[in-house]
Structure 1
Amino acid sequence: MKTDKNTAEYLVKLLEEHGVEYVFGYPGEQIIPIYEALRKSRIKHVLTRHEQAAVHAADSYARCSGKCGVCLATAGPGAMNLTMGVATAFKDNVPLLVLTGDVSTDVKGLDTFQDLPLNDVFKPITIKSYHARSPEKLENSINEAFMHFDDGVSGPFHINIPKNVQNKPMNISHKVIHTKKIKSPNESDIIDMIKRIEESEKPLIIAGYGIIYADAIKELEEFMKKTEIPLTTTWTARGIITEKDEQNLGLTGTRGTKKANYASEHADLILALGTRLSERTTSHINTENIIQVNTNLEHNKAKTFHNNNIKEFLQEINKKEIKTNIHKWTNRINLQQEKPRKIQEQTTKLHPETVIKNILQHVHKNITLTIDAGTIPTYFTIDSTVEKYGQILFSGGLGPMGYAIPSAIGATYTRSEDVIIAVTGDGALQMTIEELAVINTYKLPIIVIIINNNMLGIIKQWQDMENLPKYQVTLENPDFIKIANAYNIEADNITSIEELNEKLAKAIEEKKPHLFNIEVADVPIPLP
């Protein structure tokens, strides 16, 4: 039976039913029917100025909310511009629904205008890439993607929708496919895990961001309280339990805290919950006695792997009695203390770490930070204490330049009480500088801070370490203040720490767009 809605309108109706409130995107010829359906819907479309920025915005929306982020682009160049952001989300397991328009099915594969094999492009950087050749295929693709999200499978799903399919009437009488992919936890697995915990003298939890996407913070807190097992986190999962909690040892692995890495090195049992166990997370682990619980099968890194939703797994194990006696272990961990770090370099310009330490002094519970790749993440990792999940957003697994500003845009749509501070470098800023237009258009409470050394600093440091001459790393930057003013954003050059503290405090209080350009010295970052 046909409906009075075309497929594009039915698609938008399905998105509404699945609770989608925002779509980040950029229109084009092959996606116009969906844009017309969006115009008449209650979903708010946020017009970015580049498709890469649309994905980064949807990505940070998902990281901050725990919900699925949605982005949208046309065929050909529009879809290809999405790939950087989709790959970023894929490496960090961020739940995204990526929608692209495509040329009509009757000319697909005939080398027509803007025709590219988009599903072949997106396949390696998504959990699944669908080609919706019919209205029925589109509905089943959306249902399957959201069933994965409901199961706790996190990562991007791509649906490619030909323009003629978007205009077709929707058939609501077809068979709708419903399949649960992730099995419920086995009782035998729960019993085995309890046995191994009770036999362990030095257990350790490593928690990943899958805890957020499964909405399992409450269950994790109950499990920690029940067992008293110390917890460490991956980089992206920092703050799922406040780092002011003594049971949270902080970041583990590369750039990890002394307590966390001591615990990782000496643990006789690792409980890896909602984490893919990347090489940076496992850099200090010595035991092979690892139990991993994860919904993504391709992240099966442990000999004991349970392909379960972590929320359901924790709910079942929390029903059981668990006896632990690990006070000697926790006392040993607590003896490990960080050595105070001193900034050794004497510089004529401001030292970047001094600047970042002062930025962090202004951070409270209603501040969210987004940071770019390069030298900046090092200082934010070393010097910060994170109080809530997603308080510092960073594209960890891929690390593209240009993430900070579009990520800040996405964060504003789910953290309305927060001031968002995007900290970027002078190189990274210019990858997505056009998104200042979005900040101005929507009057978003985003403060952009440029750590400006007129240099691609991390690349220069690599050249120095390999005894190579400096090559193609010096930047002749534009006047960032004038550019910000051209976008109707108030801006200041900062030349002292006192000025930074005064003006940043004022900008946070005002909750309106602002840009600060801070000239800093070119100094090498401390190595791990």
Structure 2
Amino acid sequence: MNTAELLVKCLENEGVQYVFGLPGEENLHVLEALKNSSIKFITTRHEQGAAFMADVYGRLTGKAGVCLSTLGPGATNLMTGVADANLDGAPLVAITGQVGTDRMHIESHQYLDLVAMFAPVTKWNKQIVRPSITPEVVRKGFKRAETEKPGAVHIDLPENIAAMPVEGKPLRIDKMEKTYASFASIRAAAAAISQASNPIILVGNGAIRAHASDALTQFATQLNIPVANTFMGKGVIPYTHPLALWAVGLQQRDFVNCGFDNTDLVIAVGYDLIEFSPKKWNPDGKIPIIHVGANHSEIDSSYIPIIEVVGDISDSLNEILKVADRQGKPTPYALTLRDNIRADYKQYADDDSFPIKPQKLIYDLRQVMGPDDIVISDVGAHKMWIARHYHCHSPNTCLISNGFAAMGIAIPGAIAAKIVHPDRKVVAATGDGGFMMNCQELETALRVGTAFVTLIFNDGGYGLIEWKQENQFGQGNSSFVHFNNPDFVKFAESMGLKGYRVNAATDLIPILKEALAQDVPTVIDCPVDYRENARFTQKSGELSCTT
């Protein structure tokens, strides 16, 4: 057995089912070992796509997704997806090939110090410098990647080490015991909640990672506390729940921001500061905060909790619920806020203007998708509208990257989502800018048999940047954001996919239904009216929060 074969045995021991990546000269021994493995290697068309697939696989399963590249340019291509997983809290293990240790002390073809390069964008990384340490490096890597808060780990394997003979076996996987919050913090939190007159719950992706949806819903229901979720916390409480205030986190003010303006206590549950800066909702640091999470809170001048309840989130919520004494209903203001949010959403249901308003496009998408179906949003102006208007019944059914927020994630992410949940409908929602960044992975999707829909919000430009430019420099004052596109229908057909073009608002639902029924990946080109961006900015600027 050589080191590469031992490495693959260690991956099998970790329960790895897929490795996403590209073949390269310096990872030949790993590829050869994978040929005789139970692990399926999925050849992608770009290393960034491979990393995004591993990223979304990890986010959906809680088990580290694995991606593989060669050295040099292959490894640098991998970095964006690795960084995305690390900042989004998705477990990922990236493995890179490397020159032999006998070439590292001199200038060498394609050689970069990959351990130094990946260190800032990973939780931990290490080069395998001796064959015998392989089991320890792999076990530590997966443990670090999957331990809360999850993130990315990098393992570098020089080609001469990969070929060396070795004796050894994978290490036993130790089970992580849950940790529980102190009774003192539980009692203090319950007392503060009982005394609050207008509390609000802010829930983030940490609650989804902790599988705390049921506990959170019961907690909010019994204590009658309204709930706002971050972009990455969608579905943690069903959007149909009468206490759900939907998503918070837009750059502009929105109805839900009024809930924070009028609160006397924020209960932050599984909230990661990277998702929505506390300076946006607590700029003066005056709002009392209870932090409920698996780890202690991050340091921020606008986020200094009066109480930290640190431990298993479901257990913490259940224990607080046992001793909290809060009989009050949500304030009339909170109920009016809820009604305003829902009324704003429904006003676009029958809008038939064309190009289609983003609100209407997303409203129709929600009508077609089932409760457990998955939408993966790319990054751009459409991400903001999806965050505001695409609502979820359950966790991990609308995936938004809002930590690193990397363009190009939607199509590779949809491949991973379809691999994890082959029986669910999957839609990659992307702008035309994000589509062109990783559209080559549609060939991967066809080859591996992952049939999903790519829905393109087509505006012929980088719409989010234009929105920000006009907000800062005035309406009509934008620059360097417009471009031309290929014929997306012909592009899809040239790859053996199905292509559709929306020519009227009434076309969208029938096309979506037909596209989702196909057994090959499909692409829908849908013109979108982003004049709504400026209208929303004006509307939010006029928003008055009155009690």
Give the structure-2-normalised TM-score: 0.86
Code of the aligned partner of 1:373? V
Provide the rounded CA distance (Å) in 2 between the counterparts of 1:97 and 1:28. 18
1:359 deviation in Å? 2.4
2:157 paired residue among 153, 158, 161:
161
1:372 deviation in Å? 1.7
1:235 maps to 231
Provide the rounded CA distance (Å) in 2 between the counterparts of 1:209 and 1:152. 12
Segment drifting more, 482-491 vs 136-145 = 136-145
CA contact (8 A) 1:489 1:513 kept: yes
Segment drifting more, 29-38 vs 268-277 = 268-277
Question: Are residues 70 and 495 of structure 1, via their aligned partners in 2, closer, same or farther at CA, if it must alter by over 3 Å?
Answer: same
Cα displacement string for residues 109-132 of structure 1 (whole angstroms, at most 9, x for unaligned residues)? 422112111122211111122222
Matches within 5 A, 1:350-499: 350-465=356-471, 466-467=473-474, 470-499=478-507
2:524 maps to 516
Cα displacement string for residues 432-462 of structure 1 (whole angstroms, at most 9, x for unaligned residues)? 1111111211231211122212222233334
Matches within 5 A, 1:241-320: 241-254=237-250, 260-278=256-274, 280-282=276-278, 283-285=280-282, 287-295=286-294, 299-301=298-300, 302-304=303-305, 308-311=310-313, 314=316, 318=319
1:506 deviation in Å? 1.6
Unpaired stretches in structure 1, ≥5 consecutive residues: none
Choose between structure 1 and 2: higher helix proportion: 2
Provide the rounded CA distance (Å) in 1 between the counterparts of 2:294 and 2:107. 39
CA contact (8 A) 2:354 2:505 kept: no
Cα displacement string for residues 282-318 of structure 1 (whole angstroms, at most 9, x for unaligned residues)? 3223644223244566834443475955347538x53
Segment drifting more, 445-454 vs 338-347 = 338-347
CA contact (8 A) 1:148 1:181 kept: no
SS at match of 1:250: strand
CA contact (8 A) 2:220 2:226 kept: yes
SS at match of 1:130: strand
1:154 deviation in Å? 1.0
Provide the rounded CA distance (Å) in 2 between the counterparts of 1:520 and 1:229. 37
Cα RMSD for the two superposed structures: 3.2
Provide the rounded CA distance (Å) in 2 between the counterparts of 1:145 and 1:293. 27
SS at match of 1:236: helix
Question: Are residues 195 and 348 of structure 1, via their aligned partners in 2, closer, same or farther at CA, if it must alter by over 3 Å?
Answer: closer
CA contact (8 A) 2:182 2:309 kept: no
Question: Are residues 127 and 300 of structure 1, via their aligned partners in 2, closer, same or farther at CA, if it must alter by over 3 Å?
Answer: farther
CA contact (8 A) 2:456 2:524 kept: yes
Provide the rounded CA distance (Å) in 2 between the counterparts of 1:459 and 1:345. 26
1:207 maps to 203
Code of the aligned partner of 1:391? T
Cα displacement string for residues 220-261 of structure 1 (whole angstroms, at most 9, x for unaligned residues)? 445445644433221111002211122333223437996743
CA contact (8 A) 1:269 1:287 kept: no
SS at match of 1:438: helix
Give the structure-1-normalised TM-score: 0.88
CA contact (8 A) 2:292 2:316 kept: no
1:198 deviation in Å? 3.5
Provide the rounded CA distance (Å) in 2 between the counterparts of 1:12 and 1:150. 19
Question: Are residues 295 and 204 of structure 1, via their aligned partners in 2, closer, same or farther at CA, if it must alter by over 3 Å?
Answer: same
1:324 deviation in Å? 2.3
2:16 maps to 20
